[in-house]
Structure 1
């Protein structure tokens, strides 16, 4: 018999949420085979079984929060029928067997409600207070059936609540959805950035004519030579690296009363996934050519889509690029990523009339935005940085020669 234990994930990650059981009780599992997917603040992690055998029982349900070092399943020999053994005396709620009563401690020691993990999960999804449920079990244990029965029973109207408020909550016009762990983390960190930085945004616009013409001329040759598609992100990554070298404070962060100037260029590329926005890094972007940058971005995007990003992919970035243009955004003010002091926002390419000398021409134009922490970066550097990115993209031959 072997225990499946939540492994060490990363220095800053101590817990996660079980998002999906890959193996169910009664199913065979091979050594090294994935049995459960764990959602953490940053990435999804698949946990393997160290032993071959049969999944005998889950000690935590999907949606439960589990900690590093916690036992979450048992692998053993035999039929694999879930055991009905009593929980360990020092077990936490998520460590108890599905059929064994678990204690809901959300209301404190005075309200130690007995409920199975599955019942607690369903109650959370339905927004039901476990203390309000009358279980059928004479021992007071709340099961899934009790939660379902409570959810379908008529709800008493609180004497202090206005009738209109209760009716609005029960008429089907509102769907209550629990935020995923990652969405909660994103929300928390974005709020922290807004509250702890002096963030400003400056804008400019780029005439994309030359870079589009160059890309059109070179894309087939580029693909034949490198087996990579030539996109705009490699041009912007190269331009950002060059601008960071000229304006080093944009590539820094604050640590107490010190400024840490970073002598490396790990450029974060914001990627949208079903679980929320993630920002994996193109490591040492200054040492990569166009093909290597395109390959790195493609690999990271695929890993993000398949929930295969690692902690290493997500940590240590020095500057971030986000492209709202892929969703049709014309202009936005991107929010800083973590402790970084700068982020570049790209937007949609729109053909519109612009003055070229004394003439009006229709050109493909893109607005770009630099959000920055004014505690470190002054207006001169922020405007200069963005202007340099503009000039390099409008003269892409310089980027190719420089690479």
Structure 2
């Protein structure tokens, strides 16, 4: 017999949610085969079986929160059919004690699946318990379909909105879920990743002295150079020449000139990073993720384009690893792909700056005393004013602008 446990993914990850079971009870499982997808606040992880056999028990349903080290399934060696869940399995589901040695005691104590609301011992999945509390339903009053008597989410949803027993009335009262008119409002639970994004963006806003400075760049020369060289570039490198490599190169050059923009605060210290790992924001169905292009200062244009394309594909395919997301020193985000004309981007984590790109718009501008129509882009630098002064922030953005308006300099220095 092999217990399938939630693996340790990273020091900062202590729990996750079951995204989907690829296998069901009774299915044959090969050693090393992917059986369940776990969603964490950073990445989706594929959990495999360490033993070949038959999946006999699933101890956590899709949507359930599980802790690192917690047993979520059991695989029995051999070819036989899966055993039906025995009554003895209920205490295993009811008490997530195996997770205690590897997780804080508080979360474990908060997640029992046994409810005793009306003098009865009710066995319920964590997801069913949460839904019952949200809807104000006494689990003891729910009729389960499971012959073993285990209450599941479907049972609670089918039960409706029965009143809660007196001991639970008070905690349910502050919640506004029951008051929502479902004919007028669609209620959607936030994914774990969306909750984490919201939490971290709010933390950045509350814990930094964030300011944003703006400039605009004339994209005429970059666009002309790209148009002239893209076919030759593709033939010689096999990579498509986009705008991101130009911006990444310009940012690296500006960071070298203004090192405090490439720094971060650690307590009462300023850590000046001597590396240039540039995060590139990528939009996915689950929300924004920021994979990192490592050592961007050492990469040429083709290598940067390849890195960004590879990371973007992995993000869309949900294949990003934790190593792809950690350790960036500065971030670039491109709202222009969605048509944004101007924005104030929020910094990423502990970084001190983020560059916002925007849509290219033809506008009349003065050139050598004459008014011309040029392809212009607004640039925005949000920065932490605690360590970056206006002089450095404006100088950084001006350097990026000048390099982009003279892209040959970037090619010569790359």
Gaps of 5+ in 2: 99-108, 170-175
Q: How far off its partner does 1:358 sit? A: 1.6
Q: Distance in 1 between matches of 2:73 and 2:177?
A: 41
Q: How far off its partner does 1:177 sit? A: 1.2
Asked if the contact 2:63–2:127 (Cα under 8 Å) also holds between the matched residues in 1, the reply is: no
Q: Distance in 2 between matches of 1:341 and 1:94?
A: 41
Q: Segments of 4+ in structure 1 off by > 6 A?
A: 106-110, 137-140, 152-155, 165-168
Asked if the contact 2:20–2:37 (Cα under 8 Å) also holds between the matched residues in 1, the reply is: yes
Q: How far off its partner does 1:264 sit? A: 0.2
2:400 aligns with: 389
Q: Secondary structure at the match of 1:170?
A: coil
Q: How far off its partner does 1:147 sit? A: 1.2
Q: Secondary structure at the match of 2:382?
A: strand
1:161 aligns with: none
1:128 to 2:128 alignment: no
Deviations 1:307-331 (A, max 9, x none): 1111111000000000000011000
Q: Distance in 1 between matches of 2:359 and 2:178?
A: 43
Q: How far off its partner does 1:130 sit? A: 4.2
Match for residue 378 of structure 1 among 367, 376, 389 = 389
**Farther off after superposition, 127-136 or 234-243:** 127-136
Match for residue 362 of structure 2 among 351, 356, 371 = 351
2:44 aligns with: 44
What is the 5 A alignment of 1:55-204? 55-76=55-76, 77=78, 78-87=80-89, 105=111, 114-117=122-125, 120=128, 123=131, 127-131=134-138, 134-136=141-143, 142-144=151-153, 146-151=155-160, 169-204=180-215
Q: Distance in 2 between matches of 1:175 and 1:154?
A: 23
- Pick closer, same or farther for the CA change 1:88–1:149 going to 2, 3 Å: closer
Gaps of 5+ in 1: 97-102, 159-164
Q: Distance in 2 between matches of 1:36 and 1:145?
A: 21
Match for residue 331 of structure 1 among 339, 342, 346 = 342
What is the 5 A alignment of 1:241-390? 241-390=252-401
TM-score by length of 2: 0.87
Q: Secondary structure at the match of 2:60?
A: coil
Q: How far off its partner does 1:286 sit? A: 0.3
Q: Secondary structure at the match of 2:373?
A: strand
- Pick closer, same or farther for the CA change 1:396–1:145 going to 2, 3 Å: closer
Q: How far off its partner does 1:146 sit? A: 3.6
Q: How far off its partner does 1:79 sit? A: 0.2
1:224 to 2:235 alignment: yes
Asked if the contact 1:119–1:142 (Cα under 8 Å) also holds between the matched residues in 2, the reply is: no
Q: Secondary structure at the match of 2:211?
A: strand
Q: Distance in 1 between matches of 2:217 and 2:253?
A: 17
Q: Secondary structure at the match of 1:400?
A: helix
Q: Distance in 2 between matches of 1:104 and 1:230?
A: 52
Asked if the contact 1:113–1:131 (Cα under 8 Å) also holds between the matched residues in 2, the reply is: no
Asked if the contact 2:2–2:75 (Cα under 8 Å) also holds between the matched residues in 1, the reply is: yes
Q: Secondary structure at the match of 1:230?
A: coil
Deviations 1:255-304 (A, max 9, x none): 11100000000000000011111000000000000000000000100110
Asked if the contact 2:116–2:122 (Cα under 8 Å) also holds between the matched residues in 1, the reply is: no
Q: How far off its partner does 1:144 sit? A: 4.4
1:100 aligns with: none
- Pick closer, same or farther for the CA change 1:87–1:129 going to 2, 3 Å: farther
Asked if the contact 1:133–1:150 (Cα under 8 Å) also holds between the matched residues in 2, the reply is: no
Q: Distance in 1 between matches of 2:224 and 2:264?
A: 37
Q: How far off its partner does 1:88 sit? A: 7.3
Q: How far off its partner does 1:359 sit? A: 1.1
Q: Distance in 2 between matches of 1:353 and 1:282?
A: 35
- Pick closer, same or farther for the CA change 1:178–1:369 going to 2, 3 Å: same
Count of residues paired in the alignment: 391
Q: Secondary structure at the match of 2:364?
A: strand
Asked if the contact 2:113–2:123 (Cα under 8 Å) also holds between the matched residues in 1, the reply is: no
**Farther off after superposition, 144-153 or 67-76:** 144-153
Asked if the contact 2:193–2:286 (Cα under 8 Å) also holds between the matched residues in 1, the reply is: yes
TM-score by length of 1: 0.89
Q: Distance in 2 between matches of 1:248 and 1:72?
A: 47
